[in-house]
């Protein structure tokens, strides 16, 4: 591998380019016109425009990406996360072109991308899965069968799409009256989003924790786990705060979860960095959710506690150099917490916001890491995901990591587009968060506590004054010297 095409954008493209350059490899970025001023374009050695009417479609256009790779002499493609990162067909085509796909074998991508097959695979290798019922075809008769099986599993049930991810197509069903209709709706939504109508239902666990295990595999059955991450703080099924290690996790559970992940990944002869996701029920039982066959958004918390660069490990594995570590060398040091900085309005149901990054000021500090994909002056359009950046803090204890992160969030300035910065700061300062009492309904359960506090009169006055003083008319009246006095120059006191 000499030159890497980064088939992505935003913060993850910048993040990958950083390591690619450190490894003395060439980097080629791609961008849609709307991203022409984005930081990832400037960060790479070379940037090539790719075209599409809809900006996201450009980053999904396999044909153009491969053409750019050929034209620029790239011998490897890093897909990042999202976009084509879990597209088996793309992985296949990259390899057919004689290029290295920095990811797993297409067959493994396909296996893990089909949530029904992945669950069966996990169960076959002794990894616990929640009681469930699967559906193989979307026809009406199959629905009847699906429903009768689902009734036996019992309520509440969670219906998910076989090809799903990111919370799309998920439904919670609490009684039999809703079951058939919910299954139909979930199936049609799954068809719409993923062109695959198959759904499955599993026993829904109330207030579970989301625990996942970072793994590295060499493709020959050798696997390392890089310990767990806790990602229970979610809104709309999407994580917004992640950390490693998971707080308040019994050592026995921690070991069992990591061991299960390794077993699964070794059985799949997995090659690349990957993540095995579990849900941990309040009773201590854990269940396989899915495996993500790519770099994860929240990978930095693992990097910060282990002192490892996961992109470098991906490159090493892709070059066939195998695993550079022994399991016993991988002991986490301290604690790291990450917040996802999104352009959104938490006070309005987290609706995505658009605007322009008018002012950007990034906090610095030894224990603070900012993975960003924005620059001052950049427009935030609805075309892309609302995540702008990630802010990560490390501490020798969880408490100190949280305190440092709180400080850093206070110092982070993004003005011109609404963000969740202040909301995140309240989340990580919440007593239940600090006590490690985490579960996936945390934000709903503590919604009232997490509302913005009423500002003091003094705070309002300072903000009002600062704002009024940006008004040219107000400034003229306040500061302009009348002509006669101006003529007198410095005479006035």
Residues that are catalytic: 294
Among 73, 131, 358, 365, which residue interacts with other proteins (rule: CB under 8 A)? 358
Among 149, 356, 400, 437, which residue interacts with other proteins (rule: CB under 8 A)? 356
Token pair recorded at residue 56: 């996201």
394's enclosing H/E stretch is: strand 387-395
Please identify, among the stretches 57-65, 139-147, 169-177, 266-274, the one whose residues bind other proteins according to the rule CB under 8 A. Answer: 169-177
Which of residues 210 and 316 has its CB atom nearest to other proteins in the complex? 210
Q: What is the size of the binding site for other proteins (CB under 8 A)?
A: 81
| Tally of CB atoms within 10 A around 160 | 26
Please identify, among the stretches 97-105, 220-228, 263-271, 403-411, the one whose residues bind other proteins according to the rule CB under 8 A. Answer: 403-411
Among 175, 251, 348, 483, which residue interacts with other proteins (rule: CB under 8 A)? 348
Phi, psi (rounded to 5 degrees) for 29:
-100, 155
CA–CA gap between residue 298 and residue 387 (Å, rounded): 12
What part of residues 24-83 is at the interface with other proteins (CB under 8 A)?
Answer: none
Do residues 235 and 440 touch, judged by C-beta distance below 8 A? no
Among 46, 153, 185, 256, which residue interacts with other proteins (rule: CB under 8 A)? 185
CA–CA gap between residue 99 and residue 293 (Å, rounded): 19
| Shortest Å distance, C-beta 347 to other proteins | 9
Cβ neighbors of 13 (< 8 A, separation 6 or more) are 6, 29, 40, 43, 44, 80, 373
What part of residues 192-211 is at the interface with other proteins (CB under 8 A)?
Answer: 204-205, 207-208, 210
Cβ neighbors of 198 (< 8 A, separation 6 or more) are 116, 134, 135, 136, 137, 138, 161, 162, 163, 187, 190
Binding mask 418-437 for other proteins (x = CB under 8 A): xx-xx--x------------
CA–CA gap between residue 418 and residue 70 (Å, rounded): 40
Cβ neighbors of 270 (< 8 A, separation 6 or more) are 104, 108, 215, 217, 219, 223, 293
Nearest to 83 by CA among 316, 312, 384: 384
270 binds other proteins, rule: CB under 8 A: no
240 binds other proteins, rule: CB under 8 A: no
451 binds other proteins, rule: CB under 8 A: no
166 binds other proteins, rule: CB under 8 A: yes
Among 134, 191, 238, 253, which residue interacts with other proteins (rule: CB under 8 A)? 238
Please identify, among the stretches 5-13, 15-23, 328-336, 476-484, the one whose residues bind other proteins according to the rule CB under 8 A. Answer: 476-484
Binding mask 122-161 for other proteins (x = CB under 8 A): ------------------------------------x---
416 binds other proteins, rule: CB under 8 A: yes
Helix, strand, coil abundance in the chain, percent, nearest 5: 40, 25, 35
| Shortest Å distance, C-beta 65 to other proteins | 23
119 binds other proteins, rule: CB under 8 A: no
């Amino acid at each position: 591998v000499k030159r890497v095409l980064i088939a992505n954008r935003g913060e993850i493209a910048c993040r990958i380019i950083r390591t690619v350059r450190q490894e003395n490899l060439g980097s080629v970025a791609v961008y849609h016109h709307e991203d022409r001023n984005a930081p990832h374009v400037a960060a790479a050695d070379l940037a090539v425009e790719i075209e599409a009417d809809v900006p996201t479609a450009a980053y999904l256009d396999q044909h153009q990406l491969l053409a750019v790779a050929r034209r620029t002499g790239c011998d490897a493609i890093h897909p990042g996360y999202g976009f084509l990162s879990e597209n088996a067909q793309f992985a296949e085509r990259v390899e057919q072109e004689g290029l290295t796909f920095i990811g797993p074998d297409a067959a493994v991508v396909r296996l893990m991308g089909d949530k029904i097959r992945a669950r069966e695979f996990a169960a076959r290798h002794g990894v616990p899965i929640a009681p469930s019922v699967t559906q193989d075809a979307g026809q009406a008769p199959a629905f009847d069968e699906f429903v009768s099986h689902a009734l036996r599993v019992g309520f509440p049930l969670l219906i998910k799409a076989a090809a799903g991810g990111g919370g799309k197509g998920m439904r919670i069903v609490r009684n039999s009256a809703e079951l058939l209709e919910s299954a139909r709706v979930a199936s049609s939504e799954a068809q719409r989003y993923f062109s695959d109508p198959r759904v499955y239902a599993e026993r829904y666990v109330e207030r579970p924790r989301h625990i996942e295990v970072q793994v590295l595999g060499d493709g020959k059955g050798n696997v390392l786990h890089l310990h767990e991450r806790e990602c229970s703080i979610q809104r709309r099924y999407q994580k917004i705060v992640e950390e490693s290690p998971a707080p308040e996790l019994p050592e026995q559970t921690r070991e069992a979860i990591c061991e299960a992940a390794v077993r699964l990944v070794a059985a799949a002869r997995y090659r690349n960095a990957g993540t095995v996701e579990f849900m941990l029920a309040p009773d201590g039982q854990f269940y396989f959710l899915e495996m993500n066959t790519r770099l994860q958004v929240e990978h930095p918390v693992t990097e910060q506690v282990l002192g490892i660069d996961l992109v470098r490990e991906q490159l090493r594995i892709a070059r066939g150099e195998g695993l550079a570590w022994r399991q016993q060398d991988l002991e986490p040091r301290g604690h790291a917490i990450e917040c996802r900085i999104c352009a959104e309005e938490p006070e309005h149901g987290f609706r995505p916001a658009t605007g322009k990054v008018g002012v950007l000021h990034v906090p610095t500090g030894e224990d603070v890491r900012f993975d960003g994909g924005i620059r001052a002056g950049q427009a935030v359009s609805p075309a892309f995901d609302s995540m702008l950046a990630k802010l990560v803090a490390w501490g020798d204890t969880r408490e100190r990591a949280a305190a440092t992160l709180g400080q850093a969030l206070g110092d982070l300035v993004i003005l011109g587009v609404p963000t969740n910065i202040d909301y995140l700061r309240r989340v990580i300062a919440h007593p239940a968060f600090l006590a490690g009492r985490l579960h996936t309904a945390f934000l709903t359960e503590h919604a009232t506590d997490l509302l913005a506090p009423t500002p003091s009169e003094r705070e309002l006055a300072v903000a009002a004054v600062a704002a009024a003083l940006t008004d040219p008319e107000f400034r003229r009246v306040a500061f302009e010297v009348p002509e006669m006095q101006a003529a007198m120059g410095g005479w006035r006191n």
